[in-house]
């Protein structure tokens, strides 16, 4: 009968699952607007964006065919529900979103007031 592999986590340290739950709880507390991502309204927007444009826009501009998995807000919403649901949006793959876009957002946050991005750049 298979047995569970040995764990190298000291007994007094929290498990990865506990750490992830704590991280999510801190994140929810710091950014309450993140709950907007769970609303039916956002889910509908997401589906319609992917239906209209199923490929990552940034990859497509480089001649690559990559399915989009993330709907990005082209203009930062800063937690404002009106801007959050109004768009404009762009379909991206996760590497483009997590790499380029978040790097741009961190750069904007460090350099002052938000700058409007043009889609596809
Ligand atoms: Zn991409």
Task: Measure 76 CA to ligand 1 centroid, in angstroms.
Answer: 19
Task: Measure 121 CA to ligand 1 centroid, in angstroms.
Answer: 11
For residues 97-116, average pLDDT = 71
Q: What does the alpha-carbon distance between residue 74 and residue 41 come to, in Å, rounded to a whole number?
A: 18
The pLDDT, as a whole number, for residue 42 is 96
Neighbours of 104 (CB within 10 A): 14
| Total count of domains within the chain | 1
Task: Measure 6 CA to ligand 1 centroid, in angstroms.
Answer: 39
- The enclosing H or E element of 41 equals helix 40-52
Q: What does the alpha-carbon distance between residue 41 and residue 38 come to, in Å, rounded to a whole number?
A: 8
- Confirm whether 23 is domain-assigned: no
- Confirm whether 19 is domain-assigned: no
Of 67, 46, 63, which is closest to residue 55 (Cα–Cα)? Answer: 67
- Confirm whether 18 is domain-assigned: no
Asked whether the predicted pLDDT for residue 37 surpasses 80, the reply is yes
Asked whether the predicted pLDDT for residue 117 surpasses 80, the reply is no
Task: Measure 94 CA to ligand 1 centroid, in angstroms.
Answer: 7
- In the structure, what pLDDT confidence band is assigned to residue 19 with cuts at 50, 70 and 90? very high
- In the structure, what pLDDT confidence band is assigned to residue 85 with cuts at 50, 70 and 90? very high
Task: Measure 107 CA to ligand 1 centroid, in angstroms.
Answer: 20
Task: Measure 93 CA to ligand 1 centroid, in angstroms.
Answer: 4
Task: Measure 110 CA to ligand 1 centroid, in angstroms.
Answer: 24
Residues of the domain holding 95: 40-111
- Confirm whether 97 is domain-assigned: yes
pLDDT digit string, tens, across residues 50-74: 999 999 999 999 999 999 999 999 9
Task: Measure 67 CA to ligand 1 centroid, in angstroms.
Answer: 8
- Confirm whether 86 is domain-assigned: yes
- Confirm whether 87 is domain-assigned: yes
Task: Measure 43 CA to ligand 1 centroid, in angstroms.
Answer: 21
Residues 6+ apart with CB under 8 A from 41: 85
- Confirm whether 56 is domain-assigned: yes
Q: What does the alpha-carbon distance between residue 32 and residue 81 come to, in Å, rounded to a whole number?
A: 11
Q: Which of 15-19, 21-25, 68-72, 103-107: highest mean pLDDT?
A: 68-72
Token pair in block for residue 6? 């040995």
pTM of the predicted model as reported, rounded to 2 decimal places = 0.68
């Amino acid at each position: 009968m298979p047995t569970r592999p040995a764990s190298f986590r000291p007994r007094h340290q929290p498990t990865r699952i506990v750490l992830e739950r704590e991280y999510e709880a801190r994140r929810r507390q710091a950014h309450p607007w993140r709950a907007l991502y769970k609303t039916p309204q956002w889910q509908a927007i997401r589906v319609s964006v992917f239906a209209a444009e199923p490929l990552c826009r940034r990859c497509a501009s480089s001649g690559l065919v990559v399915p989009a998995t993330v709907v990005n807000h082209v203009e930062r919403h800063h937690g404002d529900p009106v801007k959050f649901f109004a768009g404009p949006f762009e379909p991206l793959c996760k590497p483009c979103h997590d790499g380029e876009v978040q790097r741009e957002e961190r750069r904007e946050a460090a350099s002052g007031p938000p700058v409007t991005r043009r889609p596809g750049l």
